[in-house]
Amino acid sequence: MKYHPLPSSLFVRNRERFAAHLEPRSLAVFYSADLYPTSADGHFPFKQATDLFWMCGVDQEESILVVCPDAFKPEHREVLFLKETNETIAIWEGAKLTKAQAQERTGVKTVHWLQDLDRVMNEMMSYVDNVYQVTNEHWRRSKDGPAVRGERENAALRAAYPNHTYKRSAPLLNALRAVKLPEEVDTMQAAANVTAAGYDRVLRFLRPGVWEFELEAEFLHEFVRRRSDGFAYTPIIGSGANACVLHYIENNGPCEDGDLVLFDVGAVYANYACDVTRCFPVNGQFTPRQRQVYEAVLRVQKAAIALLRPGTFLHEYHARVGDIMTAELLELGLITAEQVAAQDPAWPAYKKYFMHGTSHYLGLDVHDYGPWTAPMQVGMVFTVEPGIYIPEEGLGIRIEDNILITDDGHVNLTRAIPKEVDEIEAQMAEAREAR
C-alpha cells in the first residue's frame, strides 16, 4: 500500500460499534476479497473487501476476521486469521503482515495463521447460537456473475454448522458505515485533497488538440505521486458530445477548440473514495450557450447542497431537486409548461435532460452503504451531482461535490476544486500565460 496506515483506534471503535448491535451468543465473520487472475500467472491489482477493511484495516488477501463478544475465552472475542508470511513470499511478492504488525495495525490482540482456522473456529462456534454473515446485498450482480469469496465461505460455513441460526450483517453495516467517524472524515478529506491536486494539474494542461486519454494520464500521475492507489472508479473524461454518455469510459477522443470536457474523476486514498465532476472549456472560455447551461446546473447544485442537513429524507430531497431542475429547464426552453402539466410522475419531464439521481452515499465504496428510508445524520457523506445533457447540441454538463453532514448543515470536502465560471476561466488564462 502507498498510503499512510490509518490509526488502529478507528478500527477498534468500528468493531465496538458493530458488536454492540449483535444479539447475545453471536459471532460475525468477515472475509477478504479474492485476488483475481488475469491470464497466465498474472493478477489484477488487489482491492480489499470494504467490510473487512472497515472492521480491522487489513489490506491483504486471504484474511478473515471473527468477532464474538460473548466468547468464553477473552482471546476469542476478536480473532484475525492471516496468510502466514515466509521468506519465499517475501522474495517474490513482498512480506505479508506478521502477527505483531497485524496487532498494531488493527488493534486485534489474537492473530492466528490460516492453518489454525478450522480448529479455532470449531471452538468459537460452540459458544454461539447465531452467526452474522456479510451477504453482499449492496452489490447487485447478475445471475451468471462469479461468486465472490465471502459467498463461497458463507456457504461452506453453513454446510459445516447447519444447526446454527444465520443472520445478515448488512442492516447493521448499512447504518454504521453511513455515519463516518472523525478519522474517516479526515481520510476522505485527504482523498479530496489529492483529487483537487489532480484537477489543478489538468486545468493547467487542458488545451485544444490534447486527447482525453492524455488528461486521464495527467490525473493518474498526480494521484499516485501523492500516495493514492489511483482512481476511485473508472474515470470518465468526455469532450463535446461524449459528455452526454453518462458512463463514457473510453476516454479516446480529441478535445476540440470550442468544446467542453466533462471530468468525472476522483482519487482513492486509504481505500476511501472521492467522487467529483467538473466541466472545463477546452480553449479556456465558455461560449454564451455553454455558460447559460452551466450556470443553470450550478444553481441547481447549490440549491441541492443547501438542502443537505440533519433530518432530511432522501426521497423528499430528490423530489425537491427535481422541482428545482424543472424550473431551470423551463427557463432554458428545453421543456414546456404543457409537458410538465402532462408529465408521468414516475418519469417527470425533467428526466429527458437529467436522467440520473442527484446524490448517493460516499465512503469506502463510491456508491457507499447507507439507509435510504431514514433521515440524514451528522457524519454522513453524500455526493451532489445534478446535470443537464443535450445530445442534439453535443453538450453535457454535470457538477459534483462531496458533502459532509454536520450539526448545523454541511461541509463541502471538495470545495478546493474550482467550479465558478470566472474562476475556471481565470485559472486557465493563467495557465496559458505560463506556457
Grouping H, G, I as helix, E, B as strand and the rest as coil, residue 69 is: coil
Grouping H, G, I as helix, E, B as strand and the rest as coil, residue 146 is: coil
CATH 3.90.230.10 residue window(s) in the chain: 182-434
Backbone angles phi, psi at 152, to 5 degrees: -65, -45
- Grid cell in block for residue 312: 432530511
| Helix spans in 93-211 (H) | 99-106, 117-125, 149-160, 170-178, 182-205
Closest CA to 82 of 103, 97, 66: 97
Q: Average pLDDT of each block of 10 consecutive residues along the chain (435 residues)?
A: 94 98 98 87 88 97 96 96 87 88 97 96 96 79 65 92 96 96 98 98 96 98 97 98 97 97 98 98 98 98 97 97 98 97 96 97 96 96 98 97 96 98 95 79
Give the separation between CA 218 and CA 199, rounded to whole angstroms: 9
CATH 3.40.350.10 residue window(s) in the chain: 8-178
Position 257 scores a pLDDT of 97
Position 66 scores a pLDDT of 98
Domain 182-434: which topology? Creatine Amidinohydrolase (3.90.230)
What confidence tens digit (pLDDT) does each residue in 268-294 have?
999 999 999 999 999 999 999 999 999
* Beta strands, E only, 270-415: 272-273, 277-281, 381-384, 387-390, 395-398, 401-406, 409-412
Instruction: Please give the share of the chain, as a percent, with pLDDT higher than 90.
Output: 88
Q: How many CA atoms lie less than 13 Å away from 383 in the CB half-sphere? A: 29
Position 144 scores a pLDDT of 59
Position 89 scores a pLDDT of 81
CATH 3.40.350.10 fits 8-178, yes or no: yes
Amino acid present at 212: E
Q: Annotated active-site positions, please?
A: 41, 247, 264, 275, 356, 360, 367, 385, 389, 398, 400
Position 138 scores a pLDDT of 63
Grouping H, G, I as helix, E, B as strand and the rest as coil, residue 249 is: coil
Instruction: Using CA atoms of 404, 406, 408, 412 in order, give the dihedral in degrees to the nearest 10.
Output: -20
